[in-house]
Amino acid sequence: MQTPYGKECHYFYGDYYRGRHHEECRLLDPLISSSQWTSKLCKNCPVPGILRANSCEKMVLKGEINQGILGIGKSMKISAYCIKSEKVVTDPYVGCGLCHPLSDIIFKDK
């Protein structure tokens, strides 16, 4: 589903049927989502970019909300874990390197 800022994210859910206006981020814990999350966090959220760059089915994303100083500068903090290699993914845009190894042909020295 598209976020209010025009980015495609399958963790964002919006229900606008017959005048309803319910939005939520399904990447977050439901208790956090209802109390601290607002759709303004979608503007600078890295998840749509991560999903475009890496669509590995074995990578699990987890989201948290960084509060910032005095509540100013709220942002989404994303962490990733690979269930195949069983380790934390340092760069979710690239992945763990085990699931989709880069071909030696690409980096072959000439």
For 88-102, what is each residue's pLDDT tens digit?
999 999 888 888 766
Average pLDDT for the chain:
85
Instruction: Give domain limits for the chain.
Output: 12-89
Q: Taking 70 as the threshold, does the pLDDT of residue 34 lie above it?
A: no
Amino acid at 46: P
- Binned at pLDDT 50, 70 and 90, residue 106 comes out as low
Mean pLDDT of all residues in 39-46: 91
Q: What is the pTM of this model?
A: 0.79
Residue 34: Cβ-neighbour burial (10 angstroms; 0-12, 13-18, 19+): exposed
Residue 43's alpha-carbon distances to 46, 47, 81, 85, 108, in angstroms, are 9, 11, 24, 32, 39
Contact 49, 93 (CB under 8 A): yes
